[in-house]
């Protein structure tokens, strides 16, 4: 199947996308922000809609700007402590998708943007691969530089502050990283599936790991396996790539539950 150029580009895109998403997913799972990426994915529609209204030719630019703004707003309100994180994320998620649908459905034109819902990695262009490669390189560098601070704030904010870590800045950095990764991936993964691809490999990796390092390695490995396996299955079954990838990741998650179940039975 890799005799086709579009399949080779899709394979490269998956190899570039899945490691970054899975690494960010580990921290989202640790910080109990599993639905945060879902809110950002929904806001992509609003970003596209606002870009259309302003006449922005490249929708990726408008999505990135609006996604980062949306992420910072969620984080800022969450830090106020007046409302639970799940409530805030739900409000922003609903608002983002409603705003996007309102703008894009004007005059019955939403059909032009249906691809954003499910994504289409088979139509990725060579120039997009360079952008993904740059995002992976920058994201991995920031991840390595800020990992200890991010993990410390995820464990305990007071403890992080006692060690001189600015918890607010660390959270802003994390949400901006997630926003950029989600917005760069949304056209290829889709609004409906981006949260699953970010969270499910990380959740499976957590079931199999005992340390933070193992969590990251397991998550990246599962994400790569699910991405490549899903691409192959989609070709064999002639079905959507995104859905096949997510189902492979879901299968890995359910399999990751087996060791703990066996230990309980032995006990």
Closest CA relative to residue 212, chosen from 136, 147, 141, 140: 147
Residues 93, 42 contacting (CB under 8 angstroms): yes
- Dihedral over Cα of 40, 42, 46, 48: its sign: positive
Residue 263 has pLDDT above 90, yes or no: no
Helix, strand, coil % in the chain, rounded to nearest 5: 85, 0, 15
Residues 39, 96 contacting (CB under 8 angstroms): yes
Residues 38, 89 contacting (CB under 8 angstroms): yes
Q: How many domains does the chain have?
A: 1
Please give the pLDDT value at position 108: 64
Residues 46, 54 contacting (CB under 8 angstroms): no
User: What DSSP line would sit under 173-186, residue for residue?
Assistant: HHHHHHHHHHHHHH
Closest CA relative to residue 109, chosen from 45, 28, 29: 45
Please give the pLDDT value at position 109: 67
Q: Token pair of 129, please?
A: 């691969």
Residues 204-249: pLDDT tens digits?
Answer: 999 998 888 899 999 999 999 999 999 999 889 888 888 889 899 9
What is the Cα–Cα distance from 104 to 162, expressed in whole angstroms? 47
Please give the pLDDT value at position 251: 94
Q: Token pair of 214, please?
A: 């193992």
Q: From start to end of 135-243, where are the E strands?
A: none
CA angle 260, 262, 266 (to 5 degrees): 115
CB-based contacts of 69: which residues, under 8 Å, 6+ apart?
none
Half-sphere exposure (Cβ direction) of 220: Cα atoms closer than 13 Å:
13
Assign 81 a pLDDT band (cuts: 50, 70, 90): low
Place of tokens 């005992």: 210
What is the Cα–Cα distance from 61 to 51, expressed in whole angstroms? 8
Residues 31-63: pLDDT tens digits?
Answer: 777 777 778 888 888 888 888 888 777 778 888
Residue 110 has pLDDT above 70, yes or no: no
CATH of the domain at 50: 1.10.3470.10
Q: What is the pLDDT averaged over residues 95-124?
A: 77
Assign 107 a pLDDT band (cuts: 50, 70, 90): low
Give the global pTM: 0.86
Residues 204, 219 contacting (CB under 8 angstroms): yes
Burial bucket for residue 236 (CB in 10 Å: 0-12, 13-18, 19+): exposed
Task: Looking at mean pLDDT, say which of 43-47, 174-178, 192-196 comes out highest.
Answer: 174-178
> 210: domain range?
5-266
């Amino acid at each position: 199947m890799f005799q086709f150029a579009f399949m080779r580009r899709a394979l490269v895109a998956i190899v570039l996308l899945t490691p970054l998403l899975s690494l960010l997913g580990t921290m989202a799972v640790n910080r109990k922000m599993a639905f945060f990426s879902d809110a950002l994915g929904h806001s992509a529609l609003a970003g596209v809609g606002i870009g259309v209204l302003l006449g922005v030719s490249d929708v990726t630019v408008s999505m990135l700007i609006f996604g980062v703004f949306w992420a910072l707003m969620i984080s800022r309100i969450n830090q106020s402590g007046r409302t639970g994180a799940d409530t805030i994320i739900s409000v922003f998620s609903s608002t983002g998708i409603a705003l996007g649908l309102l703008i894009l459905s004007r005059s019955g034109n939403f059909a032009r943007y249906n691809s954003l819902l499910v994504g289409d990695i088979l139509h990725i262009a060579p120039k997009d691969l360079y952008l993904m490669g740059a995002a992976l390189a920058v994201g991995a560098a920031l991840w390595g530089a800020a990992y200890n601070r991010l993990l410390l704030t995820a464990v305990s904010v007071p403890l992080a502050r006692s060690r001189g870590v600015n918890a607010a800045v660390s959270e802003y950095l994390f949400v901006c990283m997630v926003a950029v990764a989600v917005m760069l991936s949304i056209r290829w993964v889709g609004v409906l599936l981006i949260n699953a691809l970010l969270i499910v490999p990380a959740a499976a990796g957590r079931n199999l790991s005992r340390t933070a390092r193992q969590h990251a390695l397991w998550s990246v490995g599962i994400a790569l396996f699910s991405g490549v396996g899903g691409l192959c299955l989609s070709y064999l079954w002639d079905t959507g790539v995104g859905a096949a990838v997510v189902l492979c990741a879901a299968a890995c998650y359910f399999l990751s539950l087996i060791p703990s179940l066996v230990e309980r039975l032995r006990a």
